Amino acid sequence: MLWCRCGVLLVLCPLACLITFPCPPGCCCPRPGFLVLCESMGLRSLPRSVPLSTSALSVARNQLCNVDHLLRPFSDLQELSLSHNLLARFPRGLPSSLESLLLQENRITYITSGALRQLGNLTRLDLEDNRIRAIQPGALLGLNKLQVLTLKGNRLTSLPLNLPPSLTHLDLSANCISVLDLPSLSALVNLQVLKINSNCLRSVPESAFDSLPRLRSVDLANNRWVCECDILYLYRWLLSGRPRMATDLVCTEPVHLAHRLLLNLSVMAICPRVLKPNERSHQLDLNSALEGKLETLAVEPTGPSSFKNKRYLGSLSGRKSQETTVGLLLKGVHKTRVLLSHYSLETLTYEECLSLNKTQTVSPPHLKNTTPTPDEEQKYRDNITGRTPQINATSAEGTPSLLSTNRDALWPTRNPQQDSAVVISLLVALCVLVTLLMLAVLLVLKKVLLRQQRVAPLDAGSGG
């Protein structure tokens, strides 16, 4: 590139400048008509007598304020350096032949959509250390050959929109970017190097880097990372180890995790609401499916959808449909109890506890062989939801008690039929035990009597 050439050619410049050829006064022209260096000369305007055949021109480190339309006649110009000047806006009227444009350390504040319209051959654009606050959407979209874009050290607050897909290197470091725009980022299918360090990022959107197949180097250091649930995608993406990058990302929030390295934390420390990493995907999917099934089949809501569930429950008739419903309920309750074993005080929130309690209060209905009557249907619904008839009557009148509703949600109600069945079972077991005990006592008494009868005749014979 231009700087590499300049570094070598400046060494040869004193000798090359002794050759007689058309060169602006005070400039150095190592290659007549091709390379012209007019740097650090205090110029306020472009030097005169620059050959129109020049292909590389550097007027860096001067005091240029405006070069609009002054360089258009240079139809062969491929490399241009206007860095370290006083340009307040992007220069206009540049030749379309440009391939490399260096504008770092100027005073450019914005880039309009038409500023780069004629620069379709650009492969490198360096705007480092300017004052750019905004880039109009589509301003860079026409640069179909652009590969290297440097916007380091500006005042951007978001990722520029409609970046060209041809980009391979993008440097957005040292700005104020707080959000990554997914549509603009996903379009960069050829991107290999991304630098977005020293910004204001707090997290990375889900699947932000999944659409960048050629990405091999990323720098995300020195951002304002909030090490909570929203950062889990970035956390797992870093652990995958696919790109080459610095992994020393430091948390700034929450307070108890501040100044700690992100990759030194566990998933439970970052997001206590989720399950363990090896159980999360399977258990959360199972939990969501189970809660949806139980809510549809077993829980009778008090909102506008209650009529639909009542009509569904009323349509249940016959032993087959009832057995199917009871089987699903018992299976759901069993799965819910299995899920409870995976929670702890750190992972189970109060809302989740309430939802799981609702599924635990489900009790199997009493099966009958005939179609239920309206009264039996009401009892059937009461048994499923775990409510007492008084609470249902109150709900039917449209004035439910908040206290009773909360009590039902927090504490499982007792089923009289279940209690009577348990009492009968205990009584039967007690009767069986008493009968066995009496039989044992009778057997022992019988053996004692037989033994005495055998001993008595012997004693009478010996006395005669």
- How many CB atoms neighbour CB 183 within 10 A? 9
118-172: per-residue pLDDT in tens?
Answer: 899 999 999 999 999 999 988 998 899 999 999 999 999 999 989 999 999 999 9
Residue 442: pLDDT above 50? yes
What is the C-alpha to C-alpha distance for residues 96 and 94, in angstroms, rounded to an integer? 6
Residue 245: pLDDT above 70? no
Backbone region of residue 9 per phi and psi (left: phi > 0; alpha: psi in -120 to 50; beta: other values)? alpha
The secondary structure of residue 184, as a DSSP letter, is: H
Average pLDDT over residues 193-206: 94
Residue 328, judged by CB atoms within 10 A of its CB (0-12, 13-18, 19+), counts as: middle
Q: Which residues contact 338 (CB under 8 A, 6 or more apart)?
A: none
Q: Copy the structure tokens of residue 287.
A: 């939990």
What is the C-alpha to C-alpha distance for residues 364 and 336, in angstroms, rounded to an integer? 15
pLDDT attached to residue 333: 43
pLDDT > 90 in the chain, percent: 43
How many residues does this entry show for the chain? Answer: 464
98-110: per-residue pLDDT in tens?
Answer: 999 999 999 999 9
Closest C-alpha among 122, 118, 115, 125 to residue 149: 125
Instruction: Please give the backbone phi and psi of residue 395, each rounded to the nearest 5 degrees, phi first.
Output: -65, -35
At residue 378, what is the residue type? Q
- pLDDT band at 396; cut points 50, 70, 90: very low
3-29: per-residue pLDDT in tens?
Answer: 444 444 443 444 344 444 578 888 888
Backbone region of residue 385 per phi and psi (left: phi > 0; alpha: psi in -120 to 50; beta: other values)? alpha
* Exposure class string for 200-227: b at 16+ Cβ within 10 A, else e: ebbbbeeebbeebeebeebbbbbbebbb
At residue 8, what is the residue type? V
- pLDDT band at 113; cut points 50, 70, 90: confident
- pLDDT band at 80; cut points 50, 70, 90: very high
